Amino acid sequence: MEKLKLIVGMGSCGIAAGAGKVFDKIKYLQNNEQLDIDLDQTSCVGMCYREPLVEIIDNNISYLYGGIDEEKVEELIEHHQKFHLPIKELVVKTEEFKTIDNEFTDSQVKIALRNCGYINPERIEEYIANNGYKAITKIAENSLSQEQIIQNIIDSGLRGRGGGGFLTGLKWRFANNNKNAEKYIICNADEGDPGAFMDRSVLEGDPHSVIEGMIIGAYAIGANDGVIYCRAEYPLAIKRLNIALAQAREKGFLGKNICGIKNFNLDIHVKEGAGAFVCGEETALIASVEGERGMPRKRPPFPAASGLWKKPTNINNVETFANIPWIIFNGAKEYAKYGTEKSKGTKVFALTGKINRGGLVEVPMGITIKDIIYKLGGGIQNGKKFKAVQLGGPSGGCIPAYLDDTIVDYDSVNATGAIMGSGGMVVMDESTCMVDMARFFLDFTQKESCGKCTFCRIGTKRMLEILTRITEGEGKEGDIEKLEELSYQIKDSSLCGLGQTAPNPVLTTIKYFRNEYEAHIRDKKCPAKSCTKLLTYEVISENCTGCTICAVNCPTNAIDGGKKTIHFIRQDACIKCGACLTKCNFDAIKIS
């Protein structure tokens, strides 16, 4: 009988949920009670809604357990050691039987996330055991030329997963055209929207896949120096990246004459960024790497011709690079069999918001938004109605529920007014105010504006002021038209993608939810009953028992009425804090 092996999900999400304490508990039991078990760690499994996660391998059968705390893990160890059987109600994934979480995994196709949650990211041996570094070895053994590699990536149909969706292979070809120049390759790991959760999880869970992708890209374009630009707020990702880079150097995958390829010399280092959203834009990122303030530069020239230190430079994001080794090892046709005609492969999404199963998912292009939300995500929390999804991060757009048959590919998503972006997918229910949602996202992009472009700097501020007025009941006729006018001026006059896409949440909510804007402005009402200053709290007389709980808890003494008499809320004194609604035990308070 083999001894038990326990693997704890130690990504940032798991640690935040308590996985570190669970790991320490197992270690304590192992050391102090002489338990004959193996203990290891992995990173984010994707089931963030089930964290902390612990995998137990018992007699070569894997059981993934969710919602595990220090007490439960002790119970699990004792149960497995005694019976060598699972505690079924805690299992979230196994090959032995179906669980309620199978829908979350069954529709996924993992390429970029192929190793995340399955290997220890701090051990290069585990990456190599899972076909790691076999793509660059294949290139060396078959003497593949730069053009052959680039054509392979073009044939795969891989488009940049960072937002614009430009063909990756074509981008590489542009950088390769400058034959004898000194060149650089950069991984953009600084995108600051919800999709950055994906970047962080890949760097934490499978850093070698990104490094190998960069090695292949560097060989294809003729670069000898690489930079991974990662925000300093991701300390675990940076730690594991540096461990992986050191291991790659030791094994000869970085350095001189890599894999025996003559004159192919490459090293990669991590540059920690300050977490500016604008540095997701290529030229702003380059400026930051050079030690300047992260602000966009005019294009042309494009980075492929004049980038870092005015040398030809190729920039792709984390997900794009993570796909590269898989494509080279398995072939372009194998990758291209997934997806649609113009959007091949898979896409990773950070699924969050009013959803039952939030987490990291990788799905084939062409899947519908409806399937992601209801099959993978398990539908809307608390049985409420699906209202909209924000796709593409803070500068993405809101897609309404009636367009939930929209397929996930670049053209279809762009046609709605949203963007694919780096994979943020925020689900909203009927309680979400779309005007306030637009204000929330614009507040973020306005603060992140570098200030270089007048229309972005001032225009977004004026838009934010208008949206704030509307949500506070001070909107006026013409505000909607002014928002639209400013939006198009900002999009047309901004230098980089931040300003060009910042108005998207406003434009799409006006397009699909104009009635909510009109209700705020004309009726001074919030249909979603979300905007505090537009709410009216009233007592339902037939339900009021005169218990006085609401009056006792009102911070401004705005509720009149004695014991066993019907109460009344004085609107001039009510500050709309909601204490009465929260405290009432008889459903005697309504919001209108």
Pick the CATH number of 346-429 from 1.20.1740.10, 3.40.50.300, 3.60.70.12, 3.10.20.600: 3.10.20.600
Spell out the domain ranges in the chain.
4-100, 124-336, 346-429, 434-523, 536-591
The string of pLDDT tens digits covering residues 574-584 is 999 999 999 99
First to last CA, the chain: 65
Identify which of 3-7, 327-331, 422-426 has the greatest average pLDDT. 327-331
CATH number of 4-100: 3.40.30.10
The superfamily CATH assigns to domain 124-336 is: NADH-ubiquinone oxidoreductase 51kDa subunit (3.40.50.11540)
CATH topology of domain 434-523: de novo design (two linked rop proteins) (1.20.1440)
Q: What is the reported pLDDT for 194?
A: 46
Q: Domain 536-591 is of which CATH architecture?
A: 2-Layer Sandwich (3.30)
Mean pLDDT of the chain: 94
How does residue 3 score in pLDDT terms, banded at 50, 70 and 90?
Answer: confident
DSSP state letter for 459? I
Q: What is the reported pLDDT for 17?
A: 96
d(CA 576, CA 569): 11
| Residues in CB range of 372: below 8 A, 6 or more apart | 349, 351, 361, 363, 408, 425
Q: Which residues are registered as beta bridge partners of 351?
A: 359, 425
Write down the pTM of the prediction: 0.94
Tell me which residue of 82, 83, 46, 51 sits closest to 69, measured CA to CA: 51
Beta sheet of 424-429, edge-to-edge order = 359-364, 346-353, 424-429, 386-391, 397-400
Contact present, 150 and 176 (Cβ < 8 Å): yes
The string of pLDDT tens digits covering residues 169-217 is 999 999 999 887 899 999 999 765 544 677 899 999 999 999 999 999 9
- Peptide bond preceding 394 in cis form (omega within 30 of 0): no
Q: What is the reported pLDDT for 190?
A: 77
Angle subtended at Cα 77 by Cα 75 and Cα 82, rounded to the nearest 5 degrees: 95
Contact present, 234 and 270 (Cβ < 8 Å): no
The string of pLDDT tens digits covering residues 130-158 is 999 999 999 999 999 999 999 999 999 99
Q: Which amino acid is at 387?
A: K
